[in-house]
Structure 1
């Protein structure tokens, strides 16, 4: 429980730290290209980190401890759960636009962007909690991985909100609450899987499925949507290599 709380708190702090540069920048709608490059590189970086963390710290331990069948059930279940939530809750993508029940389309765009990031963060906090319930070292690796990729993610939250609203305080507040959702989810996950250890391997693989779904359905397509594949790909490889090195270092 303590490890999940610490790692969840670290992730929330990292998201807020990542958003701090909005206090120093002056965004102009007339020159959005620099913003697009930065956001695409950040989304690519986050994707690289999450893919490595999903396999090395979640899916592989699940297969080794629970077997392939249990792992596949959990993996598919985690992906389907996030897909269902994605369709149920209204949210706004940075480049793609509105997604969710059409009746909620009139909600202010800034809050829809916040909901999109919170949806993105749910499997991240869940992964921290499940990994912490499994082993301290895995909780540490996943927690550090999520925190590292939360820094560019915090900026990816704050910059669009700043561009939409022109309010730097609001951009920081929304980034903070999007990070806080990870802490809440991490605590909930470690409480459940720490109590019911017989479903722990199912939890590990479901966390991996949820994370991979977010990468495949949200992060990578969003990073390529504006034709900035080069920046996104560079960011992806940097994130992948950093997380692979971190995982090896902590193994």
Structure 2
């Protein structure tokens, strides 16, 4: 393996991951008092999460698990892993984030801010988990074919811009801190190059289709739960129902185009 190819693969993977920072910057364009901008940002993020989970991640997980276990067993494992991701989020909210509920009753504004912040952090965690195998996918694509790898990296970078908005918008509106919102997006994005190097060097002899299939299916469940339980309800607050819906459709459209490019 040529050192130049490895360097190119790492550079393109880093580029795709850091694109989330661009999305983060876009999320700062509206004023914190602009509820319509917040509704549109969260609706857009919801569309991104739902489309990526159902159109990209879940089918990829199903394909890997069917290949490993056969049609019927593979589908069962995919579905069970998907709902395991949702159950994981339910228990996480109940036992790890449950104390917020008591504290938030005293102040509506505080309640809304805590909810938005929690939403952004949960989104960042889910995307970070997803970015780990995604980084390996970019890295290996470049090693196989530089031209193909560049196209894959560019397409993923485009959709990472949208994902950066999904992470940063709720955190920025909850805390008012651009630095904190930007940091969460960048740290999540850095899981792509880290995942690429870590996976290639340390786990290349142990990773399997089964491992990635189960992981990706769980992540898709987590993303759908966040979109439906956190992003969409928050986007529809303050009577901005149609703005949230239209923005959600726009988010799906942006993701559809970026995936077609791949």
TM-score, normalised by the number of residues in structure 1: 0.73
Matched, 1:243 2:255: yes
Matched, 1:14 2:22: yes
Larger Rg: 2
Q: Give the superposed CA RMSD.
A: 3.2
Give the Cα–Cα distance (whole angstroms) in 2 for the partners of residues 72 and 139 of structure 1. Answer: 29
The equivalences for 1:49-88 within 5 A come to 49-67=48-66, 68-88=75-95
Q: Give the C-alpha shift of residue 102 in structure 1.
A: 4.7
Give the Cα–Cα distance (whole angstroms) in 2 for the partners of residues 220 and 211 of structure 1. Answer: 12
Contact 2:22 2:161 survives alignment (8 Å): yes
Tell which deviates more after alignment, 51-60 or 226-235: 51-60
Contact 2:133 2:212 survives alignment (8 Å): yes
Question: Which stretches in structure 2 are left out of the alignment for 5+ residues?
Answer: 1-8, 67-74, 105-109, 142-148
Write out per-residue CA displacement over residues 189-219 of structure 1, whole angstroms, 9 at most, x where no aligned residue.
6646755224111112111111111111111
Distance verdict in 2 for CA 1:243–1:113, change over 3 Å:
closer
Distance verdict in 2 for CA 1:181–1:79, change over 3 Å:
farther
Matched, 1:203 2:215: yes
Q: Which residue does 1:148 correspond to in 2?
A: 162
Secondary structure of the residue aligned to 1:105 is: helix
The equivalences for 1:41-190 within 5 A come to 41-67=40-66, 68-90=75-97, 100-102=98-100, 105=103, 113-134=116-137, 136=141, 141=155, 144-151=158-165, 153-162=167-176, 171-183=177-189, 186=192
The equivalences for 1:24-39 within 5 A come to 25=31, 32=33, 35-39=34-38
Write out per-residue CA displacement over residues 72-126 of structure 1, whole angstroms, 9 at most, x where no aligned residue.
1221122222222233444xxxxxxxxx2159838xx567754441112111121
Distance verdict in 2 for CA 1:52–1:139, change over 3 Å:
farther
Secondary structure of the residue aligned to 1:21 is: coil
Question: Which stretches in structure 1 are left out of the alignment for 5+ residues?
Answer: 91-99, 163-170
Q: Give the C-alpha shift of residue 8 in structure 1.
A: 3.0
Contact 1:43 1:232 survives alignment (8 Å): yes
Q: Which residue does 1:218 correspond to in 2?
A: 230
Distance verdict in 2 for CA 1:15–1:184, change over 3 Å:
same
Contact 2:123 2:166 survives alignment (8 Å): no
Write out per-residue CA displacement over residues 153-209 of structure 1, whole angstroms, 9 at most, x where no aligned residue.
5344323433xxxxxxxx112212321341365567664675522411111211111
Distance verdict in 2 for CA 1:132–1:185, change over 3 Å:
closer
Give the Cα–Cα distance (whole angstroms) in 2 for the partners of residues 49 and 210 of structure 1. Answer: 13
Contact 1:40 1:222 survives alignment (8 Å): yes
Secondary structure of the residue aligned to 1:196 is: coil
